[in-house]
Amino acid sequence: MSFLKHTPLAWLNLTHDRRRLLTSLGGVAFAVLLIFMFNGFKNALYDSQVQLLQLLNADIIIINTQKNNMFVPEPFARRRLYQARAFDGVEDAYPLYINTANWKNAETRTTRPIRVLAFNPQDSVLRIPEVQSQVSKLQAPETVLVDLQSRPELGPITPGVETELGDRRVRVVGNYSLGTDFASGNGNLIMSDQNYLRYFSQVNPEDEERDLSTADIGLVKVAEGADAERIAATLSENLPKDVKVLTLEGFVQQEFTYWQENTNIGFVFSLLTAMAFIVGVILVYQILYTDVSDHWAEYATLKAMGYRNFFLLGVVLQEATILSLLGFIPGFCISVLLYNATADATGLLMRMTVDRALSTLVATFVMCLISGAIAVRKVQATDPAEVFG
């Protein structure tokens, strides 16, 4: 326990001037906040794209071979699902139908396109408790559940509201919470497959007619304990090549990769995060440099007493570590508050996860180490004779 016997020099240096310590921590906290915000926006834009997919109640997904992202409206023949049911280990397979229709705001009478998710109310398609408890209400004709996180432009969406969907009467019978993404900018409606036929089997010449013989996403459940990956491989091998078979994880990954490769989201926010990191290095350097300047004489005395440069380096690096830890905490707390505020204001999916928090903590630590390493050069170059000369 030689550590405890030493005077905690780094700590005493930092706490020497309380007010300066507070400003320093404020500086680190804001650098942390910047990194968290830019990273948070990036993750939110990506996470939003896959949140619906992650809630699908399936182990294996069957889609049209051409559907390499949710924007591709290519359906596949529903009989592929019946074929899939015949395979060993497959417990059930059911279709999800997806389409877009114009929703009329009941107050302003303006319309907005909205994405419609339709399925047989008997099938448990979405892992959203509010949906599962309300599906029975969807059996009545011309009824829908509306996402509470839809854009406000949709107007009133409380149960009982009557308006128009694709020039046809529609009644809201319930709500649930999901959120928007790029493919459904305004929100999502949920209806039964029978109602889906009512809205989409006869449409304007500008739109494509749909019925239940083709599905957009096929959900496959495997028997308990069965190996989903192996079954997916078997299905992929044996089903005709007009469909693609993926594990749910693979399906989510496909969508994620599409957005990574086809948008500048990653580029924009990685650049901003990198700049926030540099700002943090400058901030912390400023703090440590001032501290080193102020205690120059003391450092020189230590050197004259025989302490090695290595020891002084240790002190400055300890200060850097303390600063990064103490600054991270308030930075993290403010970020969580701002994440919530942003989510409320925009509907963006701002998620703070343990590994995101940890990676930012590591970044903060590295940031402080870099600054410490630069600031310490001044101490190492210290010549006791010069300082007191």
Partner 1 sequence: MRTPLAWLNLLHERTRLLVAIAGVAFAVLLIFMNLGFLGALSLTATQIYSQMNAEIFLRSPQTLEISTTEPFPIERLYQVAGVEGVDQVMPVYVGYQQWRNPETRLNRAMFVYGINPRDPVFRLPELQDSEAIAALQRPDTVLIDQLSRPEFGPQTTGIETESDRRRVEIGGQFTLGGGFASDGTLIVGDQNFLRLFSPRTLDRIDLGLIKLQPGANIEAVAETLRGMLPEDVEVLTQEEIIGRDRDFWIGTTSTGFIFSMGVAVSFIVGTVIVYQILYTDISDHLPEYATLKAMGYRSRYLFQVVLQEAVILAVMGYIPGLILSLGLYELATNATNGGLPMAMNFGRLVFVLILTIVMCAVSGLVSVRKVITADPAEVFS
> Which residues sit at the interface with partner 1, rule CB under 8 A?
17, 19-20, 23-24, 26-27, 30-31, 33-34, 37-38, 41, 66, 68, 71-74, 102, 110-113, 151, 182, 185-186, 205-206, 262, 264, 267-268, 271-272, 275-276, 278-279, 282-283, 285-287, 289-290, 293, 338, 342, 345-348
Of 268 and 387, nearer to partner 1 (C-beta) is 268
Tell me the C-alpha distance between 250 and 252, whole Å.
5
Of 49 and 120, nearer to partner 1 (C-beta) is 49
The tally of CA atoms less than 13 A away on the side-chain side of residue 375 is 30
Q: Least Å distance between CB 293 and partner 1?
A: 8
213-232 b/e (C-beta count within 10 Å ≥ 16 → b): ebbbbbbbbbeeeeebeebb
Q: Least Å distance between CB 273 and partner 1?
A: 11
Of 308 and 377, nearer to partner 1 (C-beta) is 377
Of 226 and 268, nearer to partner 1 (C-beta) is 268
Name the residue type at position 362: V
Q: Least Å distance between CB 346 and partner 1?
A: 4
Of 198 and 378, nearer to partner 1 (C-beta) is 378
Q: Least Å distance between CB 108 and partner 1?
A: 11
From the list 386, 341, 376, 333, the residue with the least C-alpha distance to 357 is 333
Of 5 and 19, nearer to partner 1 (C-beta) is 19
From the list 17, 19, 29, 7, the residue with the least C-alpha distance to 323 is 29
Outline where 239-308 has alpha helix (H).
248-262, 265-294, 296-304
Q: Least Å distance between CB 129 and partner 1?
A: 27
Instruction: Give the number of other Cβ atoms within 10 Å of residue 265's Cβ.
Output: 18
Q: Least Å distance between CB 34 and partner 1?
A: 6
Tell me the C-alpha distance between 114 and 103, whole Å.
6
Tokens of 160: 């009982």
From the list 99, 97, 100, the residue with the least C-alpha distance to 113 is 100
- Planar angle of CA 346, 351, 353, nearest 5 degrees: 170
